[in-house]
Structure formats: structure tokens, C-alpha cells
Chains A and B, each alone.
Chain A
Amino acid sequence: VTNGPRPTPAPGSGTGPHRNAAPRRGRSTRADTRSVAAARGSGRAHAGTVTAIAVVVVLAVVVFGGILLLRPDTSTAAAAIPPVTVANSAPASVAADGTVVLGQPRAPHTLEVYEDPLCPICGQFEHANGADIRSAVDAGRVQVRYHLLNLLEARSNQPGYSLAASNALICSAENGAFPSYHDSLFATQPEEGAAGYADDQLAALGAAVGTGPGFGDCVHSARHDPQIRAQLSAAENDPALLQDSGSGPSFGTPTVLADGRVAAPDSPQLAAALH
């Protein structure tokens, strides 16, 4: 308790008449203690008010920050998806179940590719093998059947990018631009857990790689969603597609079948089909 009023040095202090300041100060300090003790109740009330203000400030910061963070991720939002143009003359079609079929029907090898547009390992697979697959398809050695899945539908923030992008990929195959569209999405793939591309961005990419005017409607209508969901549940229940990932056999993406058998991304089996 040392915060009593300091003796104010009067003009010309230090000389005779002011020497008795010290005893006076002692008295006033004791008086302060009593008055503060008496005011303790009101001090508590004061503390309560300030606490309430502090809580309000923290809540305001939380709400404000939340709004700030909930805004669409600026790394993927608004910006156009960089288009990758693939010169590819191979025939492309969409099967009734939504499978995108690319390449000559009488090619000697077949590849079944199960992938999710958000899945990082699928991105690695495409990075490692995408170019080889394109040239093998162009040379007529391989027919590829792309099964586009929404396995990681919940794992974009907001959820749903896997499904929207898979739908857009099937739309691009219907509009004759699947290889370019597919390779564009995987070249600048959204990070898992981040915001995916919005429907408008997916539609704009189609225009950039030369899809027809119906493409935007196809993207926004989500018309292939039921096929994609059905493909996923069929894949997860197909014993031939399960692989042991450390905790028992399970289905994951990417899963690649080369000539009907599961092939690891770096396996000789896959290399044999491609070269």
C-alpha cells in the first residue's frame, strides 16, 4: 500500500516551512487505506464491469476473426484456374455409369484409374504418370477408363469439392475437352483441407480449354452427382479393388488397374502397359 498521494513539491520547497510534510503524508496514507478498504465493494463492481468489457472485446475479436477466416480462401477463390492444353486426338466418351473412356477401343492395354480430384496422392500419381498415359493413349497402346470419385467430399473446406470437380470432369468429357480439363485440375490441385475451386471457377476453366456453351450448365446442374456416388459405393464394395493400407484391406484413391489387375503407381506392370 504505497500509492498514497505523493507530496507535491511546492514552489521553493525544501526550505523551512515545508519540513513537516512527512508526518502529514503518513496520516493521509492511513486515511487512503481506510477509504480504499471502504470502497472495496465498489472496486469489485468496477472489476466486474471491466471483465464484462474484456469478454465482449474477446467475443468481438473471435467473431470478427471468424468472419475473416470463413471468407473463401483467397488462394483459390476468384483467381482463374490456369488452363493446361493437351493436344489429344484420341476418342473420348462417357459410359452410362459416368466412367470417362479415353482412347482407341481396340488398344492392346487397358487402364482403370479410380481417382478423386482433391486427393493429394492422386495428384502425385498424375504428376508422375500423366504425361506417359497421354502419349500411350495417343499412340493407341492404351485405353483409359477414368472413374471419378467423391471419396474426399468432406475434406475440402467448404465440403463438396470432390463431387463438384468430378461432375465437371464428366461434363468436360461430354464437351470434348476431357484431357485438357483433367490435366488442368490436377496441375493446380487444391490442397486437401483447403477451399476447393468454386463452381464458377470450374465453369470458367471449361471455357478456357474449349468446351461448348452447355458446359457451364452441366457444371452448375451437378447432373452427374448420382453416377459419381454410385461409382464410389461400387468401388468400395469391389473386393478386386481393395488394398491393404496398414489397417486391413480398404479402398483408397488412386487405385489403378493395369490390364485388370491392381498396379502400384511405380510398378513394372503399369510401366509395361504404358510403354
Chain B
Amino acid sequence: VIRLGLAAVWLASGILKALDPPQTYLAVLAYQVLSPTVCSVVAAGLPILEIGLGVLLLAGLATRTAAVLSVALLLVFLAGVGQAWARGLAIDCGCFGGGGAVAADRTRYGQEVLRDLGFLVLAAWLVVRPVTRGSLDALLFTRTTPSEEDRP
């Protein structure tokens, strides 16, 4: 369930970003960390990376690897939002599409950080317990792993 939840998060955010490349580019630009050229690359690659992680988690393939990458990506997001907050930039995180500059009184840094921390907990849980029911990992490899989990 945790795996499917995190998969849904990645798929939703990745697809929303992929549907509006100009907005995604402006959202990356708004963090004011990367040069415009690097932003261009990140804006192109990020949606694909997110969708890729979502698909892996949904299928339950290489769950631990996908979970580790999820943790890493979420840490990057947290750092991005955190630095924007600390520097007093007024931006929307653009986490699920949207993004860019907003009025100073309409920032949502607290909620964005808490939400990312929540996702981080989910991802970390999957790093520790990657193999779950209905996953390709469980189907493909070691029939012993489920029985390990079944043990008290």
C-alpha cells in the first residue's frame, strides 16, 4: 500500500509536469539555484525521472532501488524548498505542476516541507521493507523473502 501510494505521488507529479513543459521550466527557474541552461535540462528530465520511479514502484520492480532514489530526490526537493524559504523567495514549489513566483503572502513553505517529509517517511519505509504483496520483485525473485517476512 505504501508502495502504491508513493507510486501514485510520483506518477501524478511527473505527469502533471510533463503535460506543461513551459510551466515546469519556469518553476525550476524560480528556485534561482541553477543557471537557465541547466534549468532547461532539469525541467526536461525531472518529469521523466518521476514517472520512471512511479512506474517502478507501481510494478514493484527494483523497489529498494526506486525507494532509495525517491529518498534522494525528495531530499533534493526539500533542500530546494528550504533554500527558497530561507532566502525569502516568494515561490510556489511547483511540486505537482504549477510553480513559479507567487505573492509573498501566498507561499506555502510549511505545508510543502511537511508534505515532502511525509513522502520521505514512505520512501524510507520502502527502503527498509521493499518487498510487498503483489510486487514483481516478490514474483520474480526468491520465494523465501515473503516467508522471511512472515516469520515473527
Chain A residues near B (Cβ < 8 Å): 1, 3, 36-37, 40, 43-44, 46-47, 50-51, 54-55, 58, 61-62, 65-66, 69-70, 73, 154-155, 157-159, 191-194, 246-247
CA distance A44 to B143 in the complex (A): 11
Check if B44 is an interface residue, CB within 8 A of chain A.
yes
Check if B41 is an interface residue, CB within 8 A of chain A.
yes
A47 touches B137 (CB 8 A): yes
| Chain A residues, Cβ within 8 Å of B48 | 61-62, 65-66, 69
Q: A69-B47, A157-B21, A159-B37 given. 16 additional CB < 8 A pairs? A: A1-B143, A1-B147, A36-B143, A43-B141, A43-B142, A43-B144, A50-B62, A51-B62, A157-B22, A157-B43, A158-B40, A159-B40, A192-B26, A193-B21, A246-B104, A247-B90
Q: Mark B24-67, 1 if CB is under 8 A from A, else 0.
A: 11100100000011011101110111001100100001101100
Which of the residues A37, A46, A47, A194 comes within 8 Å of B21, measured between beta carbons?
A194
- The residue in chain B whose Cβ has the minimal distance to the Cβ of A191 is B22
CA distance A246 to B104 in the complex (A): 9
| Chain A residues, Cβ within 8 Å of B24 | 193
Please provide the chain B residues from 109 to 152 with a CB less than 8 Å away from any CB of chain A in the complex. Answer: 137, 140-144, 147
Check if B23 is an interface residue, CB within 8 A of chain A.
yes
A66 touches B44 (CB 8 A): yes
The 5 A-B pairs of least Cβ separation, nearest first, read A193-B22, A65-B48, A54-B62, A69-B44, A159-B36
| Chain B residues, Cβ within 8 Å of A247 | 90, 103-104
B143 touches A70 (CB 8 A): no
Minimum CB–CB distance for A140 against chain B, Å = 41
| Chain A residues, Cβ within 8 Å of B144 | 36-37, 40, 43
| Chain B residues, Cβ within 8 Å of A55 | 62, 65
A40 touches B22 (CB 8 A): no
CA distance A77 to B64 in the complex (A): 41
Say what secondary structure dominates the interface of chain B: helix
A-B contact pairs, 28 of them (CB 8 A): A37-B144, A43-B141, A44-B142, A47-B137, A50-B140, A51-B65, A55-B65, A62-B48, A62-B49, A65-B44, A65-B48, A66-B44, A66-B48, A69-B45, A70-B41, A73-B21, A155-B29, A157-B22, A157-B25, A157-B36, A157-B43, A159-B36, A159-B37, A192-B22, A193-B21, A193-B26, A194-B21, A247-B103
Minimum CB–CB distance for B10 against chain A, Å = 12
B62 touches A154 (CB 8 A): no
| Chain B residues, Cβ within 8 Å of A46 | 141
| Chain B residues, Cβ within 8 Å of A70 | 40-41, 44
CA distance A36 to B147 in the complex (A): 12
B65 touches A54 (CB 8 A): yes
Given known contacts A157-B25, A158-B40, A192-B26, A58 and B52 CB-to-CB distance under 8 angstroms: yes
- The residue in chain B whose Cβ has the minimal distance to the Cβ of A61 is B52
CA distance A155 to B39 in the complex (A): 10
CA distance A18 to B61 in the complex (A): 41
Minimum CB–CB distance for A46 against chain B, Å = 6
CA distance A54 to B44 in the complex (A): 21
CA distance A43 to B140 in the complex (A): 10
| Chain A residues, Cβ within 8 Å of B141 | 43, 46-47, 50
Among A46, A61, A69, A192, chain B packs the most CB atoms within 10 A around the CB of A69
B36 touches A154 (CB 8 A): yes
CA distance A58 to B48 in the complex (A): 9
Q: Mark B70-87, 1 if CB is under 8 A from A, else 0.
A: 000000000000000000
| Chain A residues, Cβ within 8 Å of B53 | 58
Given known contacts A37-B144, A44-B142, A62-B52, A158 and B37 CB-to-CB distance under 8 angstroms: yes
- The residue in chain B whose Cβ has the minimal distance to the Cβ of A160 is B36
Minimum CB–CB distance for B132 against chain A, Å = 15
| Chain B residues, Cβ within 8 Å of A158 | 36-37, 40
Which of the residues A1, A37, A65, A193 comes within 8 Å of B25, measured between beta carbons?
A193
